[in-house]
Amino acid sequence: MARAAEILGDRWTLLIVRDLLSGAHHFNELERGLPGIPRSLLAERLRRLQQVGILERQVTAGGRQTSYKLTQAGRELKPVVDVLVQWGAKWAFGEPEPAELNPVLLLWWMRDRVYTERLPQERIVIEFHFTDAPQGRYWLLLERGDVSVCLKYPGFESDVVVTAELAVFYQIWLGRITLAEAVRDQRVKLDATPELIRAFPCWFAWSQVADVVRAAANY
């Protein structure tokens, strides 16, 4: 246990492993999912995980892009991460602090959890109006071949406009409440055609821990 804690017991290492288990492979993806981590510290933690045999660093031909892949030892940490998530959801998880509410990070999480096969053939532009966020408006561009986050007006008319407080949408994402509940209680407003309003909830898988958080809330 002491040896395992020496390798994994700092603030960031298990979070890096969590994101690698969730499908992140590149430095920028990992940095984006860990707001607040200095780039130099992330690089150091990745080197350390490589040295102890938890991940492999792969460089494409020509050396233009580096990716990271968990080894067998790294993949076998999944039950450890899952148990910590379940424990945290049950005993240590409260409402996010205001400083933890990050609209850009939330949209990047959502981007990675889109059921692209459920999207219509044409591009869908979703405009998020977070009434309590500094910038206020953000966009997701959904296509079967790609999902993009836009921090500026993308030049396309919005098909769906979502209006809500950022804190409320965090609760939906994390599984505290359902989108249907938030719409019913008028904490979220969806402006779109009836067809797109019905389809909107089906496009997103929401957080990977939403079921755990929901179960813990009912404990």
pLDDT digits (tens, 9 = 90+) for 14-44: 999 999 998 889 999 999 889 889 999 999 9
Q: Do 103 and 198 belong together in one domain?
A: yes
137-143 and 124-130 as β-strands: parallel, antiparallel, unpaired?
antiparallel
* Mean pLDDT (whole number) for 82-111: 84
Question: How many Cα atoms sit within 13 Å of 18 on the Cβ side?
Answer: 17
pLDDT mean across residues, the chain: 91
Distance CA 107, CA 95 (A): 19
Q: Do 112 and 169 belong together in one domain?
A: yes
pLDDT at position 219 is: 63
Q: Which two tokens stand for residue 148?
A: 């993009």
- In this predicted model, which residue has the larger pLDDT, 88 or 61? 88
Q: Do 85 and 41 belong together in one domain?
A: yes
Q: Do 6 and 108 belong together in one domain?
A: no
Q: Do 110 and 188 belong together in one domain?
A: yes
Domain boundary among 92, 112, 138: 92
Q: Is 106 exposed, middle or buried (0-12, 13-18, 19+ CB in 10 A)?
A: buried
Domain boundary among 92, 119, 149: 92
State which residues form the domain around 80: 2-92
pLDDT at position 213 is: 79
Q: Do 104 and 171 belong together in one domain?
A: yes
Burial state string for 136-167 with b = 16 or more CB within 10 A and e = fewer than 16: ebbbbbbbeeebebbeeebeeebbbebebbbb
* CATH number for the domain harbouring residue 124: 3.30.1050.10
* Mean pLDDT (whole number) for 92-120: 87
pLDDT at position 93 is: 67
Q: Is 8 exposed, middle or buried (0-12, 13-18, 19+ CB in 10 A)?
A: middle
Q: Do 84 and 139 belong together in one domain?
A: no
CB atoms within 10 A of CB 74: 20
Q: Kindly state the helix (H) or strand (E) to which residue 38 belongs, with its residue range.
A: none
pLDDT at position 89 is: 78
Domain boundary among 66, 92, 118: 92
Residue 149 has pLDDT above 90, yes or no: yes
* Mean pLDDT (whole number) for 34-63: 91
Based on the structure, what is the number of domains in the chain? 2
* Mean pLDDT (whole number) for 174-189: 93
pLDDT at position 61 is: 67
Distance CA 140, CA 116 (A): 13
Distance CA 92, CA 150 (A): 33
Q: Do 37 and 133 belong together in one domain?
A: no
* CATH number for the domain harbouring residue 49: 1.10.10.10
Q: Do 105 and 207 belong together in one domain?
A: yes
Q: Which two tokens stand for residue 209?
A: 């821990």
Q: pTM, whole model, 2 decimals?
A: 0.79
Q: Do 105 and 210 belong together in one domain?
A: yes
Helices (H) and strands (E) in the chain — how many of each? 11, 7
- Give the CA-trace dihedral at 170, 149, 38, 83, to 10 degrees: 40
pLDDT digits (tens, 9 = 90+) for 60-73: 767 778 999 999 99
Q: Do 137 and 81 belong together in one domain?
A: no
